Each structure stands twice: as structure tokens, then as C-alpha cells.
């Protein structure tokens, strides 16, 4: 380095930084452990309750378990438990990156209208049998939801690239989209038959009971493909939080990074919503909890966001099964009820600035 | 060591021209150049254009033709006060752009050196959001230095600093240029700082270059009246240094 800064300071910063990294790694390991526990408990609960040890034994040596236990755990409960995990992770990572590229703490798939668009798309199929994509009509509901969600995400993206549109404006546009799609949804509900109305209402409440292994595989595949893409850009995405000019001055092509991230995030947000319906809270709060725990260095923030989202939705799934014995309440209704008190505790006990 | 010269440099956003015809002599390695002018004159635009962040006409000549714009570091005014990052992380971040996840001890030692040189070790593990405006500017300087640029473009780095810190930072930058051969261009509002620390001065107003040359020749009473619209005198102080004394606004 330059002569003027060639003094030899005690490298206290270096040691303190290594400690900081260690603390964050431990926190992430704790989140992994918590998630494993939550998913296991989720699989133990249901009309027939099993002990945690029975569930773990069936997980690790399925052919040693009874046929009934194996079928219940592997074929019925595991897709639901893993769907909670993958959907929670997807929505939370989508929210985290939306907040990062739009520099706005309110950005999430729900607040930017992507979930509302998906809800409208699903309702089009359920009420009118209208397929946005005419082929594959047996998957009309998820495909409609996905296409409408992508459309909303693209609208948000292209609006954000227009000159003179500030990032605050993007969130306002998102809120306008929420109102627009909710109004259209209400109109469809008003026109719908009683049976179709019930289906739409149930869909918009969000439910993991629609989970199947192929849906779990698709959602997990998206997360597995997308995470390394974000990980490769970890330093650049973190630098975006220093401001657009600063990021550009560090050699980052801000416009391109935003475009690529928004397109990827659209997939992450649209696919889970198209499978399980509207789940609003996770994409907004998961990233905030991760931020409070590990800061915004994406090397930690990214896995922590995925884990926080997965843990939140998995824990909500547990609560939704235990609140009224024998009944599984819609997960979309429960996420906020479970997450908000926890979020309040974090906000009021966390003394450091977290946005 | 890299010298720089500007030839008919212009900048535009879309079809809208915001800067035109900035031409300078060679700004030598080891020198410090002030870029002065009223608010919204085009100083930041000039820096962005030199750093290649916006397009436009003209050429930026570097004495070492093998080196590209990566040897130029622009330090903007905004400093990311909302980011949930520590000062240490934000400097590391500047160093790591374009490289892998692994953080080497060598990189951390360099951060420690820079923090010590700027006397901000105490801020190392404070959050960016906890810093004052002046402290954030010092962190910004550290972010620029960690990238080891040879041409440093600093956009009003002292605007939020108290008087002691202003003198300290400008003295540091002057020494950095003189001892390490950096070419420093610095946007300033305080003309006395320009007179004291800068070898050359470029004057920008309304997106055009008004004057360029040795600081003592460029900053004149005429310039102050025509460009800054103030009545002012330039007189030597008791230590023999020229100083701008403002009498009032031009009526």
C-alpha cells in the first residue's frame, strides 16, 4: 500500500472481524438446527400424532418403520413440511433481494403486487376457466397465477428502469398494483358461482395442503438454481446498499445487476405463490429478521434470509396444526398471526439500527 | 504513477447535454487539482464522466496507456447511511468487488492500515447508520483508498467535516499525492482550501469549463464576481498565503 499508510497498527480490526464472522456462522448454524427441529415437529403433528423419535427414525431408516408410518411421514406429511420450507425460503430470499435492489424496506412480493396478481390469475381460472396460457389446462390455476405474477414483476421492473422514477415510486406503483388486482379479484368473486367463490377464497388464503412431491421439487429446484446466482454476485449486491453512485463507482453495472436480480426474483416469488396461494408476511419480514441477526453482507444475509423464511413458515405450519386440534388452518392466515408478535419482540429488543 | 489530461470532454444523459468542452493541460501524477464552481455547475458530472460512469464526447488521456478506467476511483457524495453494515465491512466490500468470497488476512491488514492512517480505528465496528455525516465521509475516503487507485476523484469530501477534520483530511490527501504519486482531483466549495492545497484548479459553471490552470492564477476577484456573484478580495495573510475575503453578494 502507499507509503503514507505504511505504519504498523495493531491488527485489532482483523481479529474482531474474524470474531464477527464466527458469530454469524454460529447464528446461521443455529437457524439450520432450528429449522430441522421445526420440520421434524411439523411432520410429527397431524390427525395421528407421532413422537419426534418415531419421525426421526422413519426419516433416517424408512424401511425399518411400519408401512403406515412410512406412508404418513414420507408421502403425506413430508411434502407439506418441505413445501413450507422451500416456499418460506423462496419468498424470503425474493423479499430480501427486492429490498436490496429497490433500496426499500417495504419491498416484498406481497407489497409490490406480485402476490395479488397471482391471486387474480388463479381466480381467472377458478371462476371463468380462463387460461392465460391456453395449453396445459390441467395446470390452469398455477400457470395463470405464475404468468400474472411474472407480468406484475415485469411491470415493476420496467417501471423502475424508466428515467426519473425513484425507488420510492416503485413501492407506490406496487401498492397501486395491489389495489388494482384486489379490485379485479373482488369483481370476479362478485360474479362467481358459490362453488367457484369458495375455491377462490380458499386459494387466496394460502394453503400447504396442495403440496405434492413434484411441486416441492420445482420450488426447491428454483431455490437451488437461484441461490448460487445470487451468491456469485454477493459483493456487488451488498455494495448496492451503499447507494447507486457508490456501487457504480466500485465498478458495478448497477442497471444490469438490478435487471438480472429482478428477473430472478420474479421467478422466486411467482412459483411458490402459484402453488400454495397468497402468503403475505414471509417475504417482508423474513429478510428483516435476517438483517437484524447477521447484517447485510450477502454472504450471510442470503442464507440467513432463506433460513428465516423457511423457519417462519415451518413454525407457522406447526402452529396452524396445533391451534385447533384436528384442523389445519390456512397457512396464509396464520403467518402474520404467528410472525407479528415475534417480529415486534425483535424490533423492540434490537437496539441497533436495522434499516 | 499516472498523469491525466482531458480533451474536449462532454457528458450527456440521453439526448440532454449536461457538460461540454472540458479541456485541461496534463494533471501530473502527485498533483492535487481543485474542481470548483457553484452548486449544480456540473462538477460531479465531470467526475462521473472521467470515471467512465456516464457517456459523452471527448477523451480522457492517461499517461500509462495500458491502464484503463479501473485505475480511476470516483468517490461520490452519497454514503449509504441505511445499509446495515459495519464500517469495516463497508471498506472490505470496496476491496472485494469482482473477487471471491474468501477474505484473506492480507486484505484485513490493509483495512487496518487505512483505518489507522485516517485515525478512524474507533469507528471500525460501528454501523454506517450510527455515523455522523463527517465520519461517513472519512469512511468513503477509506473505501476509495482500499481500491488502490492511481487517480482519485473526490466529490466534496470535506463538506460535512468540522474545521479540524477538513484540514486533517486535505493535508492527508495532499501528502498522499506528493509521497505516493496519486493524481487527486477534488471538488471543493471552500476556495481558501483550493488556494492552500491544490496545485491546479478547474472552474465549471453551467456545464462548461470557465477556466483551468494554476490555482493562484485561476482564482481571481473577477472570477469570484462573475461566477460566484460575490464581491471579494484576494489578499496575503500574515503568513504570506493568499486568502479569499468575501465582502458581500454582488448587488
List A209's β-bridge partners, or say none: none
- State which residue of chain A sits closest to B143, comparing Cα positions: A250
Q: Report the mean per-residue pLDDT for chain A.
A: 86
Interface size A-B, in CB pairs within 8 Å, comes to 148
Choose among B80, B109, B114: nearest Cβ to A242. B80
pLDDT in tens, A190-238: 998 888 888 888 888 888 887 889 889 999 999 999 999 999 999 999 9
Q: What is the share, in percent, of chain B residues with pLDDT greater than 70?
A: 98
Smallest CA–CA separation between A238 and chain B, in Å? Answer: 8
Residue A275, C-alpha cell as written in the block: 402453488
Q: How far apart are CA A339 and CA B141, in angstroms?
A: 41
List A54's β-bridge partners, or say none: none
Q: Which of B178, B110, B174 is nearest to B145 (CA)?
A: B110
- State which residue of chain A sits closest to B110, comparing Cα positions: A1
Q: How sure is the predictor about A3, in pLDDT bands with cuts at 50, 70 and 90?
A: very low
Give residue for cell 458530472: B45
**CB A270 within 8 Å of CB A116:** no
- Which residues lie closer than 8 Å to B9 by C-beta, 6 or more apart? B19, B21, B22, B23, B46, B49, B50, B56, B57, B58, B59, B60
Smallest CA–CA separation between B113 and chain A, in Å? Answer: 6
Residues of A in contact with B93 (CB under 8 A): 235, 238-239, 242, 250, 297
Note the Cα A73 to chain centre separation in Å: 24
Subunit contact A13:B111, Cβ cutoff 8 A: yes
Choose among A4, A12, A355: nearest Cβ to B180. A4
**A319 vs A76, A267, A328, B62, B202, CA distance in Å?**
18, 28, 9, 65, 67
Q: How far apart are CA A178 and CA A117, in angstroms?
A: 7
DSSP annotation of B251 reads -
Q: How far apart are CA A252 and CA B116, in angstroms?
A: 28
For residue A226, report the phi and psi dihedrals to the nearest 5 degrees: -75, -40
Q: How far apart are CA A321 and CA A77, in angstroms?
A: 12
Subunit contact B145:A2, Cβ cutoff 8 A: yes
Smallest CA–CA separation between A149 and chain B, in Å? Answer: 29
Choose among B84, B97, B172: nearest Cβ to A291. B84
pLDDT of amino acid B228: 92
**CB B76 within 8 Å of CB A1:** no
Smallest CA–CA separation between A295 and chain B, in Å? Answer: 5
Residues of B in contact with A251 (CB under 8 A): 70, 97-98
- State which residue of chain B sits closest to A3, comparing Cα positions: B180
**Residues in chain B with pLDDT values less than 50:** none
List B230's β-bridge partners, or say none: B249
- State which residue of chain B sits closest to A295, comparing Cα positions: B84
Residue A9 has pLDDT above 60, yes or no: no
Q: How far apart are CA A185 and CA B148, in angstroms?
A: 56
Residues of B in contact with A354 (CB under 8 A): 84
**CB B85 within 8 Å of CB B128:** yes
Q: Which of A268, A334, A274 is nearest to A305 (CA)?
A: A268
Of the listed ranges A59-68, A186-195, A341-350, the least confidently predicted one is: A341-350
Buried b (16+ CB within 10 A) or exposed e, B201-223: bbbbbebebbbbeebeebbeeeb
Range among A38-42, A52-56, A155-159 with highest mean pLDDT value: A38-42
Residue B131, C-alpha cell as written in the block: 455515523
Alpha helical stretches, state H, chain A: 12-44, 52-60, 67-70, 78-102, 114-123, 140-161, 167-191, 194-205, 213-232, 234-240, 244-249, 254-276, 282-294, 298-322, 331-349
- State which residue of chain A sits closest to B180, comparing Cα positions: A2
Helix H, strand E, coil C: the string for A327-346 is: CCCCHHHHHHHHHHHHHHHH
DSSP annotation of A128 reads I
pLDDT in tens, A63-120: 888 888 899 999 889 999 999 999 999 999 999 999 999 888 888 888 888 889 988 9
Q: How sure is the predictor about A320, in pLDDT bands with cuts at 50, 70 and 90?
A: confident
Choose among A242, A299, A352: nearest Cβ to B90. A242
Choose among A7, A16, A250: nearest Cβ to B117. A7
Residues of A in contact with B129 (CB under 8 A): 353
Give residue for cell 464552481: B37
Subunit contact A354:B112, Cβ cutoff 8 A: no
Q: How sure is the predictor about A2, in pLDDT bands with cuts at 50, 70 and 90?
A: very low
List B244's β-bridge partners, or say none: B234
- State which residue of chain A sits closest to B47, comparing Cα positions: A249
**CB B54 within 8 Å of CB B11:** yes
**CB A244 within 8 Å of CB A102:** no
Subunit contact A7:B116, Cβ cutoff 8 A: yes
Residues of B in contact with A163 (CB under 8 A): 13-14
For the segment A271-281, the average pLDDT, to the nearest whole number, is 84
Range among A36-40, A272-276, B238-242 with highest mean pLDDT value: A36-40
Smallest CA–CA separation between A351 and chain B, in Å? Answer: 11
Range among A22-36, A116-130, A134-148 with highest mean pLDDT value: A22-36
Q: How far apart are CA A231 and CA A299, in angstroms?
A: 7
**CB A4 within 8 Å of CB B176:** yes
Subunit contact B124:A13, Cβ cutoff 8 A: yes
Subunit contact A242:B93, Cβ cutoff 8 A: yes
pLDDT in tens, B68-125: 777 899 988 766 678 899 999 999 999 999 888 999 999 999 999 999 988 899 999 9
**CB A161 within 8 Å of CB A259:** yes
List A30's β-bridge partners, or say none: none
Q: What is the pTM of this model?
A: 0.87
Residue A158, C-alpha cell as written in the block: 420496467
**A121 vs A118, A210, B112, CA distance in Å?**
5, 17, 55
Q: How far apart are CA A91 and CA A339, in angstroms?
A: 14
**CB A188 within 8 Å of CB A200:** yes
Smallest CA–CA separation between B169 and chain A, in Å? Answer: 13
**A231 vs A242, B7, B100, CA distance in Å?**
18, 41, 10
Q: What is the share, in percent, of chain A residues with pLDDT greater than 70?
A: 92
Residues of A in contact with B111 (CB under 8 A): 13-14
Subunit contact B97:A352, Cβ cutoff 8 A: no
Give residue for cell 496545485: B199
Choose among A9, A103, A291: nearest Cβ to B116. A9
Subunit contact B101:A103, Cβ cutoff 8 A: no
Residue in B1, B15, B47, B80 to test binding to A, most A beta-carbons within 10 Å: B80
Amino acid at each position: 500500500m502507499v507509503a503514507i499508510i505504511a505504519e504498523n497498527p495493531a491488527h485489532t480490526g482483523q481479529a474482531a472481524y474474524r470474531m464477527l464472522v464466527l458469530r454469524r456462522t454460529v447464528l446461521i448454524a443455529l437457524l439450520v438446527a432450528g429449522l430441522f427441529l421445526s420440520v421434524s415437529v411439523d411432520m410429527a403433528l397431524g390427525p395421528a400424532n407421532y413422537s419426534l423419535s418415531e419421525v426421526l427414525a422413519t426419516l433416517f431408516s424408512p424401511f425399518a418403520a411400519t408401512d403406515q408410518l412410512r406412508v404418513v411421514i414420507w408421502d403425506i406429511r413430508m411434502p407439506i413440511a418441505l413445501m413450507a420450507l422451500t416456499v418460506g425460503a423462496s419468498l424470503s430470499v425474493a423479499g430480501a433481494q427486492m429490498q436490496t435492489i429497490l433500496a426499500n424496506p417495504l419491498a416484498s412480493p406481497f407489497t409490490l403486487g406480485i402476490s395479488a396478481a397471482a391471486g387474480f390469475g388463479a381466480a381467472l381460472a377458478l371462476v371463468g376457466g380462463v387460461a392465460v396460457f391456453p395449453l396445459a389446462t390441467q395446470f390452469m390455476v398455477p400457470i395463470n397465477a405464475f404468468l400474472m405474477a411474472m407480468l406484475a414483476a415485469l411491470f415493476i421492473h420496467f417501471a423502475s428502469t424508466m428515467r426519473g422514477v425513484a425507488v420510492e415510486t416503485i413501492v407506490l406503483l406496487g401498492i397501486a398494483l395491489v389495489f388494482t388486482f384486489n379490485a379485479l379479484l373482488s369483481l370476479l368473486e362478485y360474479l362467481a358461482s358459490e362453488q367457484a367463490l369458495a375455491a377462490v377464497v380458499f386459494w387466496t388464503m394460502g394453503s400447504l395442503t396442495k403440496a405434492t412431491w413434484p411441486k416441492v421439487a420445482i420450488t426447491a429446484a428454483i431455490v437451488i438454481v437461484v441461490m448460487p446466482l445470487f451468491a456469485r454476485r454477493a459483493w456487488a449486491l451488498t455494495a448496492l446498499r451503499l447507494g447507486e453512485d457508490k456501487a457504480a463507482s466500485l465498478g458495478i453495472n448497477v442497471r444490469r445487476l438490478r435487471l438480472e436480480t429482478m428477473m430472478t426474483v420474479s421467478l422466486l416469488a411467482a412459483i411458490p405463490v402459484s402453488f400454495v396461494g397468497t402468503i403475505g408476511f414471509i417475504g417482508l419480514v423474513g429478510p428483516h429478521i435476517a438483517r437484524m441477526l447477521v447484517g447485510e453482507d450477502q454472504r450471510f444475509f442470503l442464507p440467513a434470509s432463506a433460513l428465516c423464511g423457511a423457519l417462519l413458515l415451518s413454525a407457522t405450519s406447526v402452529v396452524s396444526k396445533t391451534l385447533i386440534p384436528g384442523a389445519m388452518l390456512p397457512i396464509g392466515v396464520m403467518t402474520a398471526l404467528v410472525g407479528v408478535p415475534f417480529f415486534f419482540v425483535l424490533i423492540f429488543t434490537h437496539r441497533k439500527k436495522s434499516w | 504513477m499516472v498523469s491525466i489530461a482531458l480533451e474536449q470532454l462532454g457528458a450527456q444523459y440521453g439526448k440532454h447535454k449536461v457538460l461540454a468542452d472540458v479541456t485541461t493541460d496534463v494533471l501530473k501524477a502527485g498533483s492535487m487539482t481543485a474542481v470548483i464552481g457553484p452548486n449544480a455547475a456540473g462538477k460531479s458530472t465531470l467526475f462521473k464522466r472521467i470515471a467512465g460512469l456516464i457517456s459523452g464526447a471527448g477523451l480522457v488521456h492517461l499517461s500509462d496507456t495500458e491502464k484503463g478506467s479501473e485505475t480511476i476511483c470516483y468517490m461520490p457524495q452519497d454514503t449509504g447511511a441505511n445499509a446495515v453494515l459495519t464500517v469495516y465491512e463497508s471498506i472490505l466490500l470496496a476491496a472485494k468487488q469482482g473477487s471471491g468470497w474468501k477474505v484473506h488476512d492480507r486484505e484485513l491488514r490493509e483495512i487496518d492500515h487505512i483505518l489507522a492512517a485516517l485515525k478512524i480505528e474507533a469507528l471500525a465496528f460501528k454501523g454506517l447508520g450510527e455515523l455522523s455525516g463527517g465520519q461517513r465521509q472519512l469512511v468513503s475516503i477509506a473505501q476509495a483508498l482500499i481500491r488502490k487507485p492511481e487517480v482519485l476523484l473526490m466529490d466534496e469530501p470535506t463538506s460535512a467535516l468540522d474545521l479540524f477534520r477538513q484540514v486533517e483530511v486535505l493535508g492527508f490527501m495532499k501528502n498522499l499525492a506528493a509521497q505516493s504519486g496519486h493524481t487527486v482531483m477534488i471538488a471543493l466549495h471552500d476556495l481558501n482550501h483550493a488556494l492552500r492545497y491544490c496545485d491546479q484548479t478547474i472552474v465549471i459553471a453551467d456545464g462548461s469549463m470557465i477556466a483551468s490552470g494554476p490555482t493562484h492564477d485561476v482564482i481571481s476577484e473577477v472570477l469570484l464576481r462573475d461566477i460566484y456573484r460575490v464581491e471579494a478580495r484576494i489578499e496575503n495573510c500574515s503568513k504570506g498565503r493568499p486568502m479569499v475575503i468575501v465582502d458581500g453578494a454582488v448587488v
